[in-house]
Structure 1
Amino acid sequence: MTHPDFVRATNIADNVDLYERENEAVDPEGLLWRAIRDEADWSGRTLLDLGCGTGFWLPRYSDAARAVGVEPDPDLLRLAERRGVEAVAGSAENLPFPDDSFDVVHARFAYFWPPHCEAGRREVLRVLKPGGRLVVIDNDHRRGQFAELLAASPWAEAQGRGEVTDEWWASRGAARREILSSWEAATPEELESILRIEFPADVVDDWVAGNPGASRISYGYVLFTTEK
């Protein structure tokens, strides 16, 4: 089944092995993960990972009562299934679950780029239990070296520059929280390769020239948390 809200993520789908390296580089200090758990602790609860991709992050929820991923890309979904995690076909606007199924829903850089995502927000609220929480992990366009790359990249235009996103979530009662963390790759060459699947070549060329030998980049996140 093809979901009308599905847009293929070429940075992942065309570079699966390198995207795994990117995931391994994320948040080495654990600052982001601690903040996410503070917003909505999943221990002993049911959790939905919306847009789970290859399922890389699902094992991190091992203390949940149940953790299940939803992924619309059939190729990525097959990789998630091979990982041995629970993952099913679906999308933000078409979640294959009954009402009031989950305590927590996480969405990392998946679907929620306001203002055109109200249908998905309503669908997530449908499957959340009363008192359940949606936590959306987004880019901070104001802090960190990664924000500087976003500002220079025309590829980031589709995700906005932050103001529209902030206003959209605020108008829906979401709490906003900033976390300044980092990516840390094994080598400078690996970091450069990772950046090249996220940004145009000229943007990466300029950053590498200005940061010779860097294997680490500061990265700001924003969490938007909504309670049902």
Structure 2
Amino acid sequence: MTGVFPDFHRAPNIADHPDLYERENEAIDPDGRLWRALRDQADWAGRTVLDLGCGTGFWLPRYAVDAAGVIGVEPDPDLLALAREREVERGEVRHGSAEHIPLPDASVDVVHARFAYFFPPDCEPGLAEVRRVLRPGGALVVIDNDWRHGEFADLLAASPWASAQGTADTTDAWWRDRGAVRTEVTSAWRCRDAAELEAVLRIEFPGEVVDGWVRANPGRRELDYRYVLFTTTA
């Protein structure tokens, strides 16, 4: 196993709370709207899909249902170990990063990057590396938050933790200049109860931001959550 990759930035939300982050993953997109949109952009059925920044590997079994092959790449050694504990048919997990994908040229058909690495404008090296491993006609789909619409966007706007990810205008312009298709998807976070929603919010936002939201929304177990997908083809 190699050392720390230069583009690796530890994500405390998942790294410090992997079990709770998995509950967050279970709560997002309860009606499957995101998954339908992902398939519309680049269906992976019968193809090889790369989950770039796969974390604990939560999504790998879902891809494996109908993909020809599933590869997870993760830079965080602790999360990598958790991902490797998941047994995925036709799947494997490798230590790597967006700038250092441990795969041959033209070896995958679809790449998904879910809230991982692609926070413009400083991510050109990762995009070049993704294009290297994509087969001709393959697609990269970046799953990002919608920073303009919905209750989750309001929380992002109130959070100093989110400032490092840039702005919606910067992100949109960067992808537009690279010929990406931008798609908005309306979804939700739907937790088992209000306590669980509060808990997952607390790994994503500062305490004072969550305190204010909880006071204004007592008993809520769901909030409006919207995505933006950026799709570019090789």
User: Which structure 2 residues correspond to residues 12-27 of structure 1 after superposition, within 5 A?
Assistant: 12-27=14-29
For residue 76 of structure 1, what is the amino acid of its counterpart?
A: L
Equivalent of residue 53 in structure 1, options 55, 58, 65: 55
User: Which structure 2 residues correspond to residues 62-141 of structure 1 after superposition, within 5 A?
Assistant: 62-85=65-88, 86-141=92-147
CA distance in 1, matches of 2:135, 2:166: 30
Q: Which runs of 4+ in 1 moved over 3 A?
A: none
Give the Å deviation of 1:161: 2.3
Aligned to 2:216: 210
CA distance in 1, matches of 2:15, 2:158: 24
Unaligned runs of 5+ in 2: none
Number of residue pairs matched?
A: 228
1:59-83 deviation line (CA, Å, top 9, x unaligned): 1112000011000001001001111
Give the Å deviation of 1:217: 0.8
Give the Å deviation of 1:14: 0.4
CA distance in 2, matches of 1:126, 1:16: 31
Equivalent of residue 225 in structure 1, options 222, 225, 231: 231
Give the Å deviation of 1:84: 1.6
- Using the size of structure 1 for normalisation, the TM-score is 0.99
Equivalent of residue 9 in structure 2, options 7, 10, 25: 7
Give the Å deviation of 1:17: 1.0
Give the Å deviation of 1:121: 0.1
1:15-70 deviation line (CA, Å, top 9, x unaligned): 01111110110100000110001000000000000000000001111200001100
Is 1:156 paired with 2:162?
A: yes
Paired residue secondary structure (1:3): coil
Equivalent of residue 36 in structure 1, options 18, 35, 38: 38
Paired residue secondary structure (1:104): strand
CA distance in 1, matches of 2:196, 2:27: 10
CA distance in 2, matches of 1:147, 1:210: 16
1:104-131 deviation line (CA, Å, top 9, x unaligned): 0000000000000000000000000000
1:163-193 deviation line (CA, Å, top 9, x unaligned): 1000000000000000010010101000000
Aligned to 2:202: 196
Paired residue secondary structure (1:214): coil
CA distance in 2, matches of 1:50, 1:9: 14
CA distance in 1, matches of 2:213, 2:7: 33
Is the contact made by 1:143 and 1:180 (CA closer than 8 Å) also made in structure 2?
A: no
- Using the size of structure 2 for normalisation, the TM-score is 0.96
CA distance in 2, matches of 1:49, 1:65: 14
Unaligned runs of 5+ in 1: none
